[in-house]
Structure 1
Amino acid sequence: MRVVTISATYGTAGSVIGPAVADRLGVPFVDRAIPGAVAEELGCTLEEALAHDDRSEHGLGWLLSGAVRLPTATFGGVDVYLPGSMPLPPEDFVTHTEGVIRQIARDRGGVILGRAGALVLAGHPGALHVRLDALQSRRILRTAEAGGMSAREARKLVEENDRARTAYVRHFYRTDPASPTLYHLVLDSTTIPVDACVELIATASAALG
């Protein structure tokens, strides 16, 4: 079973490349299903799971980075912004997210976007770990073009997402998600065409498998 994790900075077309790679490899693309599975396991609402998800617009990464102004609380010795009533510690959600990712990799394979997949599945046999990244200036340009927004609006969106996703990985895994040592393949998808990125990832996955 093919397993690919993709860590994608904002503006690098991760949500386009991920499904295309999954289709090419004949495995599921796993993104939005993860918080749903976590919510079912914990017996909480999907909204509560999304509040702790690193891919959510206002998920835990946003709170840890201070991008969303909410009442403060302390956990793990770090002051962060948290919603007024979270019934379970954030660590519980992260632990269950890891469990869902490992089960998907073990049972059916798939292309997993975000959620520190390269760290969660670092020891999984045959798993390919990919990083999509580029100069911030190019990611801002791509974001502005795709969203029909000004460069200023795009810059704000890119910078806030970068802070949020980095904060999630730094807090729970004590590492920098941009470190190339975490990945087998690092691609600049703002320069290399999307189709070529998909082909490179699929070829590398087949080679590992």
Structure 2
Amino acid sequence: MRVVTISATYGTAGSVIGPAVAGRLGVPFLDRAIPGTVAVELGCSLEDVLAHDDRAEHGLARLLAGAMRLPAASFGGMDMYIPGVMPLPAEDFVAHTERVIRQIAREQGGVFLGRAGALVLADHPGALHVRLDGPLARRVVQTATLGEVSERQARRLIEDNDRARAAYVRHFYRADSASPTLYHLVLDSTSIPVDTCVELIVTASTALS
């Protein structure tokens, strides 16, 4: 069963490339299904899980992003979320998310977007780990065009999301999500066409399996 993790900075078409790769490999694309499964396991609401999810619109990433704007929210060089905001400890949600990802990877395979998949599945046999990135200027143009927002709004959106998702990985995994050593393949999907990125990832995954 093929397993691919994709770490994507904002504006690099991860939500387009991921499903396309999954379709080519004949495995599930795992993004929105993960929080629902975690909610069932924890016996809590989907809203509670989304409050901690790094891919959700108002997830833990948003709180981390907000926390980083507060001088008191940084301790020892590590960006921290503000205690007391969450109804349940964020670590519980992250631990269950890890378990769900590992179980799905083992039983079904799949393409996993975000949630530090390259670290969670670092030891999974045959898993391909991919990073999608690109120059900020091109990501701004792409986001502004697709999202129909101004370039100023696009830049703020990108910077907030990048900062927050990087903080999620630093906080829970003590790692740098941008480090190329975490990935087998790093692609500039703002320059390389989406279809070509998909082809490269599928080829690499097949070679590893």
Aligned to 1:127: 127
Q: Once the two structures are superposed, what CA deviation does each residue of 1:17-48 show, in whole Å capped at 9, x if it has no partner?
A: 00000000000000000000111000010000
The one-letter code sitting in structure 1 at the alignment partner of 2:168 is Y
| Secondary structure of 2:81 counterpart | strand
Aligned to 1:6: 6
The one-letter code sitting in structure 2 at the alignment partner of 1:176 is D
**Would the aligned equivalents of 1:2 and 1:126 in 2 still touch at CA under 8 Å?**
yes
Query: In 2, Cα distance between the equivalents of 1:79 and 1:28?
Result: 33
Aligned to 2:35: 35
Query: In 1, Cα distance between the equivalents of 2:204 and 2:36?
Result: 30
Query: In 1, Cα distance between the equivalents of 2:6 and 2:12?
Result: 11
The one-letter code sitting in structure 2 at the alignment partner of 1:36 is G
Aligned to 1:102: 102
The one-letter code sitting in structure 1 at the alignment partner of 2:164 is A
The one-letter code sitting in structure 2 at the alignment partner of 1:122 is A
Q: How does 1:33-182 map to 2 (within 5 A)?
A: 33-66=33-66, 80-81=81-82, 84=85, 86-182=86-182
CA distance 1:192–1:74, shift in 2 (3 Å): closer
CA distance 1:178–1:132, shift in 2 (3 Å): same
Query: In 2, Cα distance between the equivalents of 1:83 and 1:190?
Result: 39
CA distance 1:8–1:192, shift in 2 (3 Å): same
> Is there any run of 5+ residues in structure 1 with no aligned partner, and where?
none
**Would the aligned equivalents of 1:51 and 1:60 in 2 still touch at CA under 8 Å?**
yes
Give the deviation of 1:87 after TM superposition. Answer: 3.2
Per the normalisation by structure 1, the TM-score is 0.93
**Would the aligned equivalents of 2:140 and 2:154 in 1 still touch at CA under 8 Å?**
yes
CA distance 1:125–1:116, shift in 2 (3 Å): same
The one-letter code sitting in structure 1 at the alignment partner of 2:81 is V
**Would the aligned equivalents of 2:18 and 2:29 in 1 still touch at CA under 8 Å?**
yes
Query: In 2, Cα distance between the equivalents of 1:31 and 1:178?
Result: 20
% identical aligned pairs: 74
CA distance 1:165–1:195, shift in 2 (3 Å): same
Q: Once the two structures are superposed, what CA deviation does each residue of 1:109-159 show, in whole Å capped at 9, x if it has no partner?
A: 000000000000000000000000001111011000111111101001101
Equivalenced residue count is 207
Give the deviation of 1:80 after TM superposition. Answer: 2.5
Aligned to 2:196: 196
The one-letter code sitting in structure 1 at the alignment partner of 2:186 is V
Per the normalisation by structure 2, the TM-score is 0.93
Query: In 1, Cα distance between the equivalents of 2:73 and 2:160?
Result: 21
Query: In 2, Cα distance between the equivalents of 1:81 and 1:18?
Result: 32
Query: In 2, Cα distance between the equivalents of 1:50 and 1:146?
Result: 24
Query: In 1, Cα distance between the equivalents of 2:74 and 2:165?
Result: 19
